[in-house]
Amino acid sequence: MRSIEAKSFEHLGRLESLSERNMREHLRLYAGYVRKFNELLKKREALQHSPDNYAGADCESLKVDLTYALGAIKNHELYFEILGGMQRGKGAGPEGPLLKAIEADFRSFPQYVADLKQSALLGRGWAWTAYDRDQGGLFNYSGAQNGIPVWNTQPILAIDLYGHAYFYDFGANKASYVDAVVSALDWMKIGQRYEVAMESAGK
């Protein structure tokens, strides 16, 4: 494994439905996960040079923490990447192959949005839309920080459901936060991620 450099998401300061303060604090948290991962990676490398110490409680805790930090980085980067759609015009939704896939798997875009919001409201960590390579279609998942709980899927959308994601703007009103995120989704970027997922699956 290699060290990670925090990415810059300058567009997040211009969202209409999520405040600049909220996103600034969220980006600070993400940068903290990057720093933590790099610190843990150095500790792991040190343990690898000492085989006698590469087993036991300290090593086990290190691996758990390393996995958690990496999951947090990947989830946040996906979440930040697919925000910003309102800048392209209100009401913009998916088009092309992504829209066809949504209609095939959820009957309609509104029904997909309803299912996504339900997954988010029931989730305690993250909600994702992912392409399932085995099933050959899209599905909405909810799960914990370490990643989507189903193997052989590729996420194209992520919603952070931890309190830090919405406290500054919405307090405990998680439903309003989910509505705000959905309204801010950049469907062009999500569509691009879907096409990459299809290509990786050989479709």
- Asked if residue 128 is part of any domain, the answer here is yes
Q: Looking at the structure, do residues 137 and 191 belong to the same domain, yes or no?
A: yes
Tens digits of per-residue pLDDT, 121-178? 998 899 999 999 999 999 999 988 776 668 899 999 999 999 999 999 999 999 999 9
pLDDT value of residue 51? 62
Q: Are residues 196 and 148 in the same domain?
A: yes
| Torsion angles phi and psi, residue 54, rounded to 5 | -90, 30
Same-domain pairing of 94 and 194: yes
Q: What is the mean pLDDT of the chain?
A: 90
Continuous segment of H or E residues that includes residue 157: strand 153-160
Task: DSSP letter for 10, please.
Answer: G
If asked whether residues 68 and 92 sit together in one domain, one would say no
Residues 6+ apart with CB under 8 A from 84: 11, 12, 14, 15, 184, 186, 189
Indicate if 96 and 196 belong to the same structural domain.
yes
- Residue 55 pLDDT: 58
As for how many domains the chain has, the answer is 2
Q: Which residue has better confidence, 8 or 59?
A: 8
What pLDDT, on the 0 to 100 scale, is given for residue 131?
A: 96
Identify the pLDDT of residue 201.
81
Same domain, 122 and 155: yes
CA dist., res. 140 & res. 112, Å (int): 9
Bridge pairing between strands 153-160 and 137-143: unpaired
Which of the pair, 80 or 63, is modelled with greater confidence?
80
Is 183 within a domain? Answer: yes
pLDDT at residue 45, as a whole number: 81
Domain containing 57 equals 19-83
